[in-house]
Amino acid sequence: MANDGSDSWLGLAGRVCVVTGAGSGIGEGVARELALLGAYVAVLDRDEKSSGSVAASIRGAGGQAVAVVADVADESAVAAAAQLVANELGPCQVLVNNAALVSGSTGALMTADLGLWNRMLGVNLTGALICTRAFAAQMVAMGHGGSIVNVSSICGHMPRPLGGAYSVSKAGLMMMTRMLSLELAEHRIRCNSVSPAWVRTPASEAIYSDPEIGGKRRQLVPVGRISDPVDLANAVAFLASDRAGYVNGQDILVDGGLTQTLLNMVPKPSRPMTPDKP
Ligand SMILES: NC(=O)c1ccc[n+]([C@@H]2O[C@H](COP(=O)([O-])OP(=O)(O)OC[C@H]3O[C@@H](n4cnc5c(N)ncnc54)[C@H](O)[C@@H]3O)[C@@H](O)[C@H]2O)c1
């Protein structure tokens, strides 16, 4: 995992990057990829064991990483985490807001338990704002600009059936991304998001280990496969880097073309239609 110079195009070597929810799945994949590119990575997660083991594994492979334990929805815990990152690695230059509650859907909006609703919005949306305030403050103080990448979802673009607060939180995250892209531009801090569709992670393993459901989903994706965390990590690394220096306030759907397939479902006549007369 030691930096082998392959980062020269992205130029992320030595950058201080904070990845939330980095103890598992996509966040872990992003943390590993950024470390591979030579970045100094803060592996932030509420789960002490998983953030510790991911950070240790990155260091064991020759990368630079520290474990940071915090619940992103807890303002004082995030403030302490920001201080720890500054002390251990230096001021944050790249923030990836990835932590989210992905399961335990709150269900139908008309009957959703408001405690679950508030907790999901508190982590997925307010948590990203809390982390942005804490870590963007370090970017502003340094005066060298920075990049924030929020991990949204295909469910922020279209309603997840009975998805309750989840789709709402992800749509809100994309609007927050666009608003911050304006607010922080004077500090040369860019803010963008990525929207995964179907990614094989511990959170989704039950779906993709089921051969029938996993197989049917695979057939629906034009590129013919379910994505891996590294597919997201590549898009995040680009947005984090100066190569995306003119990309601000955007969302990249990393979905293998899934969202382009709606018209495949439209019934068509078996015989071709009569061509237009010239
Ligand atoms: N897996 C998919 O198919 C998929 C699809 C679209 C979007 N996403 C998004 O990608 C991101 C990661 O998803 P994943 O599948 O890797 O999930 P995951 O459950 O495997 O990992 C999420 C990590 O976030 C941590 N976390 C949760 N709440 C936290 C909190 N309050 N504070 C700090 N850490 C917290 C968890 O401990 C865990 O390590 C989420 O934002 C999710 O909405 C995932």
Which structural domains are found in the chain, ordered by start?
16-251 (3.40.50.720)
**Percentage with pLDDT > 70 across the chain:** 97
For ligand 1, atom 19, the nearest C-alpha belongs to 203
Whether 10 has a pLDDT exceeding 60, the answer reads yes
Q: Which residues pair with 193 in a beta bridge?
A: 150, 251
Q: Could you give the CA distance from residue 13 to residue 113 in angstroms, rounded to a whole number?
A: 45
Section 146-166 average pLDDT: 95
pLDDT tens digits, one per residue of 66-97: 999 999 999 999 999 999 999 999 999 999 99
pLDDT the model gives residue 274: 79
Q: Which two tokens stand for residue 145?
A: 């600009």
pLDDT tens digits, one per residue of 107-134: 899 999 999 999 999 999 999 999 999 9
For ligand 1, atom 29, the nearest C-alpha belongs to 99
pLDDT tens digits, one per residue of 205-227: 899 999 899 999 999 999 999 99
Amino acid at 76: S
Average pLDDT, the chain: 94
Residue of 119, 152, 201 best suited for mutating to test ligand 1, as the one with most atoms within 8 Å of CB: 201
Whether 275 has a pLDDT exceeding 90, the answer reads no
- Residues within a 6 A CB radius of ligand 1: 20-21, 23-27, 45-47, 50, 71-73, 98-102, 123, 127, 151, 153, 196, 198-199, 201-204
pLDDT the model gives residue 105: 66
What b/e string do you get for 76-105 counting C-beta neighbours within 10 Å, with b at 16 or more? Answer: ebbeebbebbbeebebbbbbbbbbbbbeeb
pLDDT the model gives residue 270: 84
Whether 1 has a pLDDT exceeding 60, the answer reads no
